[in-house]
Amino acid sequence: MIRIYIARQRYDAWLVADRLNQAGIRAHVFNQHASSIVGDVPCDHVAQPQVWIEREIDRERAQIVLRDIEAAGHRADSVACASCGEESPGNFDLCWKCGATL
Ligand SMILES: [Zn+2]
């Protein structure tokens, strides 16, 4: 397993993993419930959602997928949901978590 991406937000990790799987790269998200372990680990990055791929052979393609995602601008300014407080990408109309209008 190879760590390919450290996300700032859970939706970010899931989006990346989803795109990788669509590209035929087996990817997994870890630390998705980051908030429950914050405080037990000294390094910020350990507690953040991470995307791992299964095979070294996919690493190069995975990085191309990552570049495409970043080029598409999904990491533009995020919007906090007024209903549940979760952050969604700025180009979303509805909260990814609860479906409220942003
Ligand atoms: Zn919400």
Query: Does position 46 have pLDDT exceeding 50, yes or no?
Result: yes
Domain boundaries defined on the chain: 2-71, 77-102
Distance (Å) from CA 88 to ligand 1 centroid? 8
At residue 36 the predicted structure's pLDDT band, cuts being 50, 70 and 90, is: very low
β-bridge mates for residue 2, sequence order = 53
pLDDT digits over 63-77, tens only? Answer: 999 998 877 765 557
Number of H helices and E strands in the chain, helices first, is: 3, 5
Distance (Å) from CA 64 to ligand 1 centroid? 31
Q: What is the pTM of this model?
A: 0.59
Distance (Å) from CA 92 to ligand 1 centroid? 11
Distance (Å) from CA 24 to ligand 1 centroid? 30
Query: Does position 59 have pLDDT exceeding 80, yes or no?
Result: yes
